[in-house]
Structure 1
Amino acid sequence: MPNTQPKSLCLDDLNDRERLQYSLHILFSMLQVTGKMVSTNSTVATLVKEVGLLQKRFSSCQSLPVCKDITFVHQLAEAAISSQIKPREETCAICYEDFQCDKMFEDCESEIHREACVGILDPEQLSVIDQRKMESEINMRDRVYCPEPTCSALMAKDKLLKHTNEFFLGAEQVGARKCMVCGTFFCINCNFKWHYHITCDEFQKTQTYQISNHAKFESVAKRHGLKKCRVCTTWVERVYGCNHMTCRYKYEFCYTCGAEWINKEQTCKCRLMD
């Protein structure tokens, strides 16, 4: 009769990857049964807590060794975050750790509730949430940024005008605006500090403008063939491809003349390809 006794496992017969997988299997099996192992590493301890929270949501849960490709772990992490960022729910702290602020929530389709992140994210990261929420509430064409480099506050055109009218008579006619955050007066037409009693063209011929960093940058940008988006005022450079450009706020325009593209259709007669 064949030997029905289970074959003993010797760790010496396994390679490094197999040993690690086996050790992880034993570790999570013990955690699943007793839940008494507490790591001194804060990240591992938080991970264990998250695993425990997830286990409680399933009718059954079994630990298995991980083989080769572990990309599914990222999908699991995303699903875990998505299921936990609702109000009064747990939020995964590990996935936010050591994350670049400017990449936070990029292409994320889930709604992030600020109150669920307090105590987990630092002030800088929380400000990213506030900024993204504000941006989502303001139509692309109604966004105005303060030109003061130390401010750059985002404001809605209608609210900005209403705020400015409290300090400046006839602001709508002349284009004057007052930042709602830092209080700087600026011109909404040329996006520069306010120039009293002269037009934008006249101001750009003055020495004040000519020696400004703003003018120097524009001079260099134009010399290198860069073009400015009339909506977000960002300078862009076409590296390759056609002259159909789309800015970060989804405004589409012709790189050659700046004319707007409407419903994916060109409105000018410029060549699509140079």
Structure 2
Amino acid sequence: MSMTSLDVGIRTRSTWYPRRETKKTAKKESCVICLDDDIDPHLMFSVDKCRHRFCLNCGKRHIKAKLLDGKVPDCLQHRCKSQLRIARCVMLLTRKLRLMWEERITEDSIPLHKRLYCPNPRCSYLMSTTELLSSSESTYRRCFICGTSFCIYCKVPWHSKLSCSDYKKLHTNLQDDDAKLKSLANLKGWRQCGRCQHMVELSSGCIP
């Protein structure tokens, strides 16, 4: 069967105008924390190990609350023990929160009974008694950051003219004051700051 010039023209033109495909709409996601079910995928983040996903806003609030409570942030999913990583949460952190997170990691790497904070309230740098004890047999030490002199056993500014036992005898009221403070803290719901050891009241965030 022969084709006319009109048939050829129609077939030729059809190759120049392919069928247009309908643009697909990105599938929305939901956050199990705030229950928002209309979230764009790029506004979600997932935890490395468990792959649980949450919206960025809930992630930011969770991380801030955990750090203010003196803890390293973990997964938001109930009963999930997966830890969050700083590198994975860069988009959720301010510079202040990142520094706070790094401090929490350092604290967790030192056993509680081996933590020693600089007695200078303007410093409060965290040190390990293991590292401090290995440098000298004397009880005299200096803060690595501010240089404040202190006694490693009494954990107070250096008492050059008193032995540790004499110092404690002269400051027996300190133990009574500590007991009273802890009792008041329990009554008021205060907590001890993980960095400076002072009693503080949480002004924002969630208390688990």
Shorter chain as normaliser: what TM range? 0.5 to 0.7
- TM superposition shift of 1:149: 0.7
User: Could you say which residue in structure 1 is the equivalent of 2:176?
Assistant: 222
User: Equivalents in 2 of 1:122, 1:129: separation in Å?
Assistant: 11
Is the 8 Å Cα contact of residues 116 and 126 (structure 2) preserved in structure 1? yes
Candidates 114, 130, 149, aligned match of 1:142: 114
User: Equivalents in 2 of 1:227, 1:49: separation in Å?
Assistant: 52
| Deviation string, structure 1 residues 17-61 (Cα, Å, up to 9, x no partner) | xxxxxxxxxxxxxxxx51399xxxxxx9x942357x6xxxxxxxx
User: Could you say which residue in structure 1 is the equivalent of 2:137?
Assistant: 172
User: Equivalents in 2 of 1:91, 1:160: separation in Å?
Assistant: 43
Give the secondary structure class of the aligned counterpart of 2:108.
helix
- TM superposition shift of 1:148: 1.1
Is the 8 Å Cα contact of residues 27 and 40 (structure 2) preserved in structure 1? no
Give the secondary structure class of the aligned counterpart of 1:133.
helix
Give the secondary structure class of the aligned counterpart of 2:116.
strand
Is the 8 Å Cα contact of residues 143 and 157 (structure 1) preserved in structure 2? yes
Q: Which runs of 5+ in 2 are unaligned?
A: 1-23, 29-35, 75-80, 195-208
Matched, 1:153 2:125: yes
The change in CA–CA distance for 1:118 and 1:157 in structure 2 (over 3 A counts) is same
Give the secondary structure class of the aligned counterpart of 1:135.
helix
Q: Which runs of 5+ in 1 are unaligned?
A: 1-32, 38-43, 54-80, 166-170, 207-214, 229-234, 241-246, 250-274
Is the 8 Å Cα contact of residues 119 and 155 (structure 2) preserved in structure 1? yes
* TM norm structure 2: 0.52
Is the 8 Å Cα contact of residues 153 and 181 (structure 1) preserved in structure 2? yes
Is the 8 Å Cα contact of residues 144 and 154 (structure 1) preserved in structure 2? yes
Runs of 4+ in 1 over 6 A off after TM superposition: none
* TM norm structure 1: 0.41
Is the 8 Å Cα contact of residues 161 and 177 (structure 1) preserved in structure 2? no
Is the 8 Å Cα contact of residues 186 and 193 (structure 1) preserved in structure 2? yes
User: Could you say which residue in structure 1 is the equivalent of 2:156?
Assistant: 192
User: Equivalents in 2 of 1:106, 1:113: separation in Å?
Assistant: 9
Within 5 Å, which residues of 2 pair with 1:68-217?
83-85=46-48, 93-98=56-61, 99-100=64-65, 101-103=67-69, 105=71, 108=74, 109-162=81-134, 165=135, 171-173=136-138, 175-203=139-167
Percent identity reads 27
| Deviation string, structure 1 residues 45-94 (Cα, Å, up to 9, x no partner) | x942357x6xxxxxxxxxxxxxxxxxxxxxxxxxxx6x4245xxx98532
Q: What is the number of residues matched between the two proteins?
A: 147
Within 5 Å, which residues of 2 pair with 1:222-241?
222=176, 226-227=178-179, 236-237=182-183
- TM superposition shift of 1:119: 3.8
Higher relative CO (Cα under 8 Å, sequence separation at least 6) belongs to 2
Give the secondary structure class of the aligned counterpart of 2:127.
strand
- TM superposition shift of 1:220: 8.0
Which letter maps to 2:151? C
The change in CA–CA distance for 1:126 and 1:146 in structure 2 (over 3 A counts) is same
User: Equivalents in 2 of 1:195, 1:49: separation in Å?
Assistant: 60
Which letter maps to 1:172? E
User: Equivalents in 2 of 1:50, 1:127: separation in Å?
Assistant: 26
The change in CA–CA distance for 1:115 and 1:157 in structure 2 (over 3 A counts) is same
Which letter maps to 2:25? T
